[in-house]
Amino acid sequence: MTTVFIISAPSGSGKSTLTGRLLQELPRLRFSISYTTRAPRGHEVDGKEYYFISREEFERRIAADEFLEHAEVFGNYYGTHKSELDRAAAEGVDLILDIDVQGARQLRDRIPAAVSIFILAPSRQILEQRLRARSQDSETVITRRLQEAAAEIGDYLRYDYVLVNHEVEASVETLKSIVKATRSRRDRMEAEIRPILEDFGDVS
């Protein structure tokens, strides 16, 4: 049984770092690689961080209903292709999606059993410091990202879990605990439970 884990956060909250550590430290997790129309940044490689395609190609795939979710963010499309979930299910692993609040809303409608986690920086000031420390964005982009963060934060009420990222190590442990607890839910454990019940002659 494959569980979908949705992880969302305002840009600069540490989501990518935490997600990367989670994938390294827990087995049976697959990262969902999104499609996007934006240009690659830095050392990004097609098929690793994202699948980079044209706007025309993305819109063709929307029309063909190929995405579990998609959204336009800062003038570029981002989306999760249905094949990502199909691959995870075929491999018997859980799927991690790093998506924004727009995409998360769509995905929860399509997959109500998905587990959603919202990550926050401890304060606006720390979020701004982290955005500036990345040295990736212009002043205009930083201002826009802070404005977008103010709008996104209100969506935390829609998520199952909220994680305030004070310190990386503690936050990684919290994320791991959420995944482990989800995997211990009764519906996930049914295949292991049935043989135990049968050993006791109780299959009710």
Are 116 and 104 contacting, i.e. CB atoms less than 8 angstroms apart? yes
Q: Is the pLDDT of residue 204 over 70?
A: no
How does the average pLDDT of the chain come out, rounded? 92
Give pLDDT tens digits for 79-131.
999 999 999 999 999 999 999 898 999 999 999 999 999 999 999 999 888 88
Top-confidence residue, 129 or 65: 65
User: Residue 152 half-sphere exposure, CB side, CA atoms within 13 Å?
Assistant: 25
Domain boundaries, the chain: 4-31+93-199
The pLDDT value recorded for residue 118 is 97
Backbone φ/ψ region at 47: left (φ over 0), alpha (ψ -120 to 50), beta: left
The pLDDT value recorded for residue 11 is 86
Q: Is the pLDDT of residue 169 over 70?
A: yes
The pLDDT value recorded for residue 203 is 59
Where are the strands (E) in 26-175, listed by range? 29-31, 34-36, 50-52, 67-73, 76-81, 94-98, 115-120, 161-164
CATH topology of domain 4-31+93-199: Rossmann fold (3.40.50)
